[in-house]
């Protein structure tokens, strides 16, 4: 079983690749009926305007330190196929799933963002001259 991270906007590609999306956001999209692992989500306070970036990092790292990694691994393996831990932010945006992936990787897992290559330069499409006739 392979564990990825991704975002809800990528669900079609995940499904097409045979990867099971698992929500890790505090609030799931209404249209998402997949699995949800609230124990991996930030708290409501962390998502509020009152929470600074420093507090967010401290609080989410505390959540990570209290994770039972064996139980998490067992729960993910019970799905029976590759999984993607999903929330809302695009790959290049700050997000708790990146903190989660870093934490899991430091503990011997191999978690990568699905379909994202940070070294690949995004190319703008060449404009096409349209004919009037």
114 touches 4 (CB < 8 A): yes
**40-49 confidence digits (pLDDT tens):** 999 999 999 9
81 touches 14 (CB < 8 A): no
Q: Residue ranges of the domains in the chain? A: 3-113
pLDDT above 70: residue 129: no
CA dist 124 → 84, 119, 121, 127 (Å): 28, 16, 10, 9
For the question of whether the overall pTM of this predicted structure is more than 0.95, the answer is no
Q: What is the pLDDT of residue 115?
A: 83
**17-50 confidence digits (pLDDT tens):** 999 999 999 999 999 999 999 999 999 999 999 9
**84-103 confidence digits (pLDDT tens):** 999 999 998 999 999 999 99
89 touches 7 (CB < 8 A): yes
CB environment 15-35: b (16+ within 10 A), e (fewer)? eeeebbbbbbbbebeeeeebb
Percent of the chain, pLDDT > 90? 84
The torsion angle over the Cα atoms of residues 68, 22, 43 and 57, rounded to 10 degrees, is: 70
pLDDT above 70: residue 123: no
pLDDT above 80: residue 130: no
Burial class (CB in 10 A: 0-12, 13-18, 19+), 67: middle
6 touches 21 (CB < 8 A): yes
In the block, tokens 């903190």 appear at: 99
């Amino acid at each position: 079983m392979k564990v990825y991270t991704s975002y809800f906007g990528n669900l079609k590609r995940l499904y097409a690749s045979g990867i099971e999306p698992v929500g890790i956001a505090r609030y799931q999209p209404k249209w998402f009926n997949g699995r949800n692992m609230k124990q991996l989500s930030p708290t409501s306070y962390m998502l509020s305007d009152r929470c600074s970036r420093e507090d967010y990092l401290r609080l989410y790292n505390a959540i990570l330190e209290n994770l039972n990694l064996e139980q998490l691994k067992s729960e993910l393996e019970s799905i029976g196929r590759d999984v993607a831990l999903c929330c809302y932010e695009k790959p290049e945006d700050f997000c708790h799933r990146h903190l989660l992936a870093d934490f899991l990787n430091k503990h011997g897992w191999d978690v990568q963002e699905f379909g994202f290559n940070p070294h690949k330069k995004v190319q703008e499409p060449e404009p096409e001259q349209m004919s009037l006739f």
